[in-house]
Chains A and B, each alone.
Chain A
Amino acid sequence: MRINWKTYDPGKFYDEIISAQGVPRPAARQLANYLKSLTHAELTEKKLAAELAIKTMGISFAVYSDAGNIDREWPFDIIPRVITAKEWEHTSKGLQQRLRALNCFINDIYNDQKVFKDKIIPKELILNSTNFRKQCLGIKPRYGVWAHVCGTDLIRDRDGLFYVLEDNLRVPSGVSYMLENRRVTKRVFPELFENYNISPVQNYPDQLFDTLAAISPRTSEYPEVVVLTPGIYNSAYFEHSFLAQRMGAELVEGGDLVVEKDKVFMRTIDGLAQVDVIYRRIDDLFLDPTVFNKDSILGVPGLFKSWVKGNVALANAPGAGVADDKVIYTYVPKLVKYYLGEDPILPNVTSFLCTDKTECQHVLQNLDKLVVKPANESGGYGMLMGPQSTKKEREEFARKIKADPRNYMAQPLISLSTVPILGDRGVEPRHVDLRPFVLQADKSYVTAGGLTRVAMVKGSYIVNSSQGGGSKDTWIVGDE
């Protein structure tokens, strides 16, 4: 295996590294030339070095179906994806704008509900959302911010532009892999970091800590910030522990916390210690068995009331997920205009609503061409990939959509851009998306790049790690 860019063919898709056959994009030129200069033995060695680093660093994720093997090594491809700093600057502005608007929207639906009165969005749509929490009505978190941490999935279409595919406002994960991917790449390609002007990513945990500290109800100099995890069997446990470690925060499970007099405490070797801010990585419904799911053993009885009383801050706030419903998604460009009076910087992917009669008709007639998504699933589950579907699957989805139009939306099959991966016979194109992470409290922040997820199977669009996706380091490269 040696890399020959002349035989690398991404077809009709936008490729992130080359612009035409054998011609690298300007920002990726050094990378492409460097890779080409490596011998078969050198490439193999780099690949093995990355695998070994991942193994010894213990970078892992869990797959539920793998009985007996609760953590698996992280699938990683060594060739980085390159994005120019100029393009990223524009994209970050768009991401911050979008999250600002979404937070205004969430705050509005739980308080004044102007957005219904002004007929921007139908009220029933929200009240029927499975992520709407009526218990949150009338609550005003500090700065009016409900979603403090957002993972926005971006895709690049054939026109080379970024589009927002979805907003993840509940418990988005992946940021630790973004950081670890960089650490691995530094071990594998130290030479490249000398010549490239690559934006560092490792300040994310500090930014996250500052965001969390900013919402502490007590104005102490050192607020007690904790990360609440469902436990060691959760698929994102590695990330929970990673973030706690990097922030110097305690990693707690539900059983470590107790509520007394509407204040939250953790059980330490020195008795109970009060907690100020909880970065929770547990779903809303499992947070507090006295308010939500009664059978939850992951949560903490009384936690919700402590939050309502303002004695503890929760990030993200319960109920924030109402805005990452895939049906609500279609309204986001309008919401940006409505709340901020600005034109949206980042476009949405064209979407069809099944609640709209004509659009629903269109969806039902074109099931073989569209991607149908349920409103509230994550991880790529419960979707219909039209062009690859069987007749039986399409019939099943038609039934589901007719039965519950509110729960479905559809999008044309967008063309995800490609990036080369190092396969057994040299470089081969694979489809990617990008998940940057956006923080908001008193200030807002966007990661330099984000997590590039790769569909490792040829031609596939499924990038989710739970379904065999891999990942890559993402470089934001400045001018020389």
Chain B
Amino acid sequence: MLSRVAERVYWQARYLERIENTARLLDVFSTLLMDLPKGTKLGWHSLVHITGTHEIFDATGRQPIERNVMKFLLPEDNGISIINMLAAARENARTTREIMPTEAFEQINELYFYAKENLAQGVSRGPRHQLFEEIITSCQQITGLMAGTMSHNDAYSFVRLGRDLERADMTTRIVDVGSSNLLVSSQSSTQADEPLTNILWMNILRSMSAYQMYRQHVKDRVNAEDVVIFLLQNDEFPRSLAHCISQLSSVVDELPNHSKSLAQIAKTYRAIKHANIEKLLGDGLFQFIDDLQIEIGAIHKAIADSWFLQK
């Protein structure tokens, strides 16, 4: 398989996964709004922060209110909105059509046209949930279509690498939502009440379609520590960080020249599994999430160095 094509396939999968996860993240935020008592506000700026786009947003000089943030993240042409990510996914799919199943390109293409037409509506709350549901379902369909119609060859390995690494990245960001100072109570206390915090964690689980699996696994009411352990260290749930990273390892194992990437992935996996979540939660988890992000960056670099066209 050509190095250049491997890179494009990898990015196409990353973009698609990022689109799905951004839709999930924005959906939690919007659902959360409905659960909050009057007087409690959501910090919309942290949403921009979580998606890693705060610098670009701040440069526009706009107020971080709901409408502005949603516009910024959905239909705007700023290089990082969902519509731009979809255009990038489509472009990567278009330029790797020779190796992808035809239907996969067609579905990505259709999703692009759907989004182009409907994303602007997501700025207002009414149609928002349906829009996100549509995007999430389409992304899942595309993933399923590739799994079911594409030979599980090298090209598919790069699809999986892109998908799992991006998923790992977003899981750390979403966990960050829970631990960051998201809920701003109108009362003087800076810390939100415990029941509110639990609502927040419950919504976070829902955003990753993890609530049901969490309940089956934990058999206890929703609480910060168990949720974070579940989302970061569980080996069975497909969106948990540990699971994503161990998947990478089994994919990489099948590829040639894999020693560098395998070593980095193993190192990251150990860092996740050995973490003492209870203790880390006390400090707000920030530093740990930052470290994980650096690890994920290092995995990407190892992949790029081993298989992509060297510029």
On A, residues with C-beta under 8 Å from B are 55-58, 71, 227, 232, 237, 241-242, 244-245, 249-253, 255-256, 266-271
Contact = CB atoms under 8 A, between A and B. Distances in A.
Interface in B83-124: 91, 94-95, 97-99, 102, 105-106, 109-110, 113
B292 to A, nearest CB: 27
Given A56-B113, A271-B257, 16 more contacts: A58-B94, A71-B94, A232-B94, A241-B95, A245-B97, A245-B102, A255-B4, A256-B309, A266-B2, A267-B4, A268-B2, A269-B3, A269-B6, A269-B257, A269-B306, A270-B1
A202 B306 CA distance: 39
Given A241-B97, A255-B309, A270-B256, A250 B106 contact: no
A391 to B, nearest CB: 46
Contacts of B6: 269
A47 B141 CA distance: 28
Contacts of A271: 256-257
Contact of B99 (A55, A57, A245): A245
B109 A268 contact: no
Interface string B283-311: 00000000000000000000000110100
B280 interface: no
B94 A256 contact: no
A194 B256 CA distance: 50
A281 B195 CA distance: 65
B255 interface: yes
Nearest to B97: A241
A249 B99 CA distance: 9
11 contacts: A55-B109, A56-B113, A232-B94, A237-B95, A251-B2, A255-B4, A268-B1, A269-B255, A269-B256, A270-B1, A270-B256
Interface string B1-28: 1111110000000000000000000000
A376 to B, nearest CB: 30
A227 B105 CA distance: 20
B105 A256 contact: no
A269 B1 contact: yes
B76 interface: no
A56 B2 CA distance: 27
A265 B97 CA distance: 22
A57 B109 CA distance: 8
B235 interface: no
Contacts, number: 69
A58 B3 contact: no
B253 to A, nearest CB: 14
A237 B256 CA distance: 30
A303 to B, nearest CB: 17
Interface string B245-271: 000000000011100000000000000
A232 B1 CA distance: 18
B17 to A, nearest CB: 21
A401 B140 CA distance: 62
B154 interface: yes
Nearest to A243: B98
A270 B257 contact: yes
Interface of B is mostly: helix
A253 B105 CA distance: 21
Nearest to A57: B106
Interface majority SS (helix, strand, loop, mixed), chain A:
mixed
Contacts of B95: 232, 237, 241
B97 A250 contact: no
B256 A252 contact: no
Given A57-B106, A267-B2, A270-B257, A244 B94 contact: no
A251 B5 CA distance: 9
Q: Which of A58, A244, A255, A267 counts the most chain B CB atoms within 10 A?
A: A58
Contacts of B105: 58
Given A58-B109, A269-B307, A242 B97 contact: yes
Contacts of B91: 232
B37 to A, nearest CB: 46
A71 to B, nearest CB: 7
A269 B154 contact: yes
A251 B98 contact: yes
Nearest to A226: B2
Nearest to A60: B94
A245 B3 CA distance: 17
Nearest to B93: A58
Nearest to B255: A269
Contacts of B1: 268-270
A245 B105 CA distance: 12
Contacts of A256: 2-4, 309
A389 B183 CA distance: 72
- Give the 10 A-B CB pairs with smallest separation, nearest first: A244-B98, A245-B98, A270-B256, A269-B307, A251-B98, A241-B97, A232-B95, A241-B98, A58-B109, A267-B3
Contacts of A241: 94-95, 97-98
A147 B98 CA distance: 24
**Which of B2, B3, B99, B110 gathers most chain A CB within 10 Å?**
B2
A56 B106 contact: yes
A248 to B, nearest CB: 9
Contacts of A244: 98
Nearest to B256: A270
Nearest to A231: B95
B4 A253 contact: yes
Nearest to B90: A58
Contacts of B106: 56-58
Contacts of A232: 91, 94-95
Given A57-B106, A245-B99, A250 B2 contact: yes
Most buried by B among A237, A242, A267, A271: A267
Contacts of A56: 106, 109-110, 113
A57 B105 CA distance: 8
A180 B57 CA distance: 43
A232 B306 CA distance: 24
Contacts of A255: 4, 309
A267 B307 CA distance: 10
A256 B6 CA distance: 12
Contacts of A267: 2-4, 309
A268 B1 CA distance: 5
B211 to A, nearest CB: 35
A53 B98 CA distance: 19
Nearest to A58: B109
B97 A55 contact: no
B94 A268 contact: no
A36 to B, nearest CB: 33
A336 to B, nearest CB: 37
A268 B256 CA distance: 10
